[in-house]
Chains A and B, each alone.
Chain A
Amino acid sequence: MTGRRVLITGVGSFFGGELARRLERDDEVEHIVGLDTRRPGARLKRTELIHADIRDPKIAGLIAPTRVDTVVHNQIVRQPGPGMSPRTMHDINVIGSLQLLAACEKVDSIRTFVVRGSAGIYGAEPHAPQFFTEDMARLFPLRTRFQRDVGEIENYFETFARRHPGVTCTMLRYQPAIGAGVDTQISRYLTMPVVPTHLGFDPRLQVVHASDAVDALAVAVRNPVRGPVNVAGPGTIGVTRMVRLAGRTTLPLVGPFFGPVTSAAKRVGLPVLSEDFGRLLRHGRAVDIRRLEEEVGFSPRFTTEMALEDWVQAPARAAA
């Protein structure tokens, strides 16, 4: 039997690049194809790079000749980076996923689809179960644009999975990631000069260490299961404790001022907190990861707390 042939979208991102590097070391993976408009940050040896925009219908003609059996959809944008409008983010997420699926319709070598989705689909609600299991995706209305995007993406993949019973589609629902040197929503938040919080609220958050986030993708490629799977570091941490461990000062804001103040911060060059993230800081969210551990067979090495401590200690480690 010949080895696996894997396509990774968004290979220019940290997670895409790291996954490619990890798969390059795996002898069972015969060929790796990376699709992105950006150059990968990681140094890759045997990954074939395709320079194309995922929103472009022309990717159909580029994917078919690669004869891949596995597609890892890693290009879902969680927060608009510098110079990216919310509109572009929506386009990449929804139109990008749609074009990718359209392109894959005609590639009959595909057996596995792994998506780096988001636990954002559960939302952040005061009345929510304290641990979401995979079957609780639509307990609450999808309130923010990003949530609706994720909902849309999940719909596309469910439809695709129904139309192609021979393809195993794994929808990984990630909690926010954190890791040394990785630019994520959490790290941007914790490096603000003063950290805005909701006055009188201290919700439980859950994060996943960046290396566990990449490993989970790699394990899911080897052992895909059908349907959604939550990915997070075990345990939770209160926002206040998280900010204190990071050695920052909180700026508690009364509910109605939170939005205006954080968007004013944008004008002085501070990172923008998305609507989703704002809700997360008010009500928090945690997920159940039994399916990840028992069915996919991956147990994160870092708990939520350890992931955060690792990130806090990283600068000191680098200096030593």
Chain B
Amino acid sequence: MVGVGPALGALRLVREGLRQGLDAPEALIRGAAVLPRDTRRAVERAARRLDGDYREDEWGFDEEFADLVLPFLDFLYDRWWRVRTLGAGNVPGHGRALMVANHAGILPWDATMISMGLLREHPLPRYPRFLVLDWAFSLPWVSVAIRKVGGVAASPFNALRLLESDQLVAVFPEGVKGTGKPFRERYRLQRFGRGGFVELALRTGSSIVPVAVVGSEEIYPKLGESSPLARAIGAPFFPLTPLFPWLGPAGVVPLPSRWLIEFCEPIPTAHHGPDAADDRSLVLELSEQVRDTIQAKLLENVVRRGPAFA
């Protein structure tokens, strides 16, 4: 951490720089000169970003931003949730693939931890793109943060385009039914929509990787919900947890449960051909197969993980 001395020195330099008519980013870079090296790098990077000197891909994914928040996610992964990741090698290292996971925990923390698990455990790490409930994209700040770390609005068009450009995509077919289910139904998978994700996989010949996430169910134990409040803010539901909304913003802090993420054997779909996407019976059969795989793994891993808060 930066001591008080260098920090004050840096501030003084920034102020002088500004007085000499430098613009804000330049003054910041000059001020950072007296800081320790790591901090200096961070300040310089932040200053360059103020000049618009950063990259975003056509989806708005900002790898530098994702790297910037990495230490925070590292903390959540190692200390807060003490995540263990198994079977990361089951995710293809390159080319298109569709990860299908169970969804819980109101905010998409499970998506970030799946990404972290891959970045940490996979021999060829890459950032997956995940499909996020549309509603999140009408929220200030949340929408920006989500797209910058690789989230896109949950629309089959988006998923199709991502897979066609050989990305690794994560979907949560339970959707709002998964995040909004009460605590007593934890680790019981909800209906998998109409199997839209299987259609996408078949149409693009992507293999499906089922992912079982244990631990996300306990971070926001939903005890009840309030429909008038949900209607008032236009949200799909308004959760009542032991902390939220009673503690205000602090109620958003997730509980530190212990997590276990497992990537299961991939299910290839390419041999069916793209036209199989219109075969209802095959789509439902595969959808059920994926659902059963995840459900079985969840029950197995809940036991394996042991008590949630030990």
Residues of A within 8 A of B (CB): 126-131, 133, 136, 198-202, 204, 234-238, 240-246, 255, 283, 286, 288
Contact = CB atoms under 8 A, between A and B. Distances in A.
B140 A241 contact: no
B50 interface: yes
Interface of B: 49-52, 54, 56-60, 62, 134-135, 137-141, 143-144, 147, 152-153, 155, 157-158, 161
Contacts of A199: 140
A127 B155 contact: yes
B58 A202 contact: no
A190 to B, nearest CB: 12
Contact of B60 (A126, A200, A204, A244): A204
Contact of B52 (A200, A244, A288): A244
Q: Which of B52, B56, B138, B153 has the most CB of A within 10 A?
A: B52
Given A200-B144, A236-B56, A236-B60, 20 more contacts: A126-B137, A126-B138, A126-B153, A127-B135, A130-B158, A131-B158, A204-B56, A204-B58, A204-B60, A234-B58, A235-B58, A236-B59, A238-B62, A241-B52, A243-B52, A244-B51, A246-B52, A255-B140, A286-B58, A288-B161
A202 to B, nearest CB: 4
B157 A131 contact: yes
Given A129-B155, A129-B158, A130-B161, A238 B56 contact: yes
12 contacts: A126-B134, A126-B143, A127-B153, A129-B155, A130-B152, A130-B158, A201-B144, A204-B147, A235-B57, A237-B56, A246-B52, A255-B140
B139 to A, nearest CB: 8
Contacts of A130: 59-60, 152-153, 155, 157-158, 161
Contact of B144 (A202, A236, A245, A246): A202
A139 to B, nearest CB: 9
A288 B157 CA distance: 11
Q: Which of B58, B138, B143, B155 has the most CB of A within 10 A?
A: B58
B161 A200 contact: no
Contacts of B155: 127-130
Contacts of B56: 204, 236-238, 241
Contacts of B153: 126-130
A127 B134 contact: yes
Contacts of A283: 137
A129 B157 contact: yes
A174 B296 CA distance: 51
A133 B158 CA distance: 11
- List the 9 closest A-B pairs by CB distance, nearest first: A200-B140, A244-B52, A129-B157, A245-B52, A126-B138, A127-B134, A126-B137, A200-B141, A202-B144
A238 B60 contact: yes
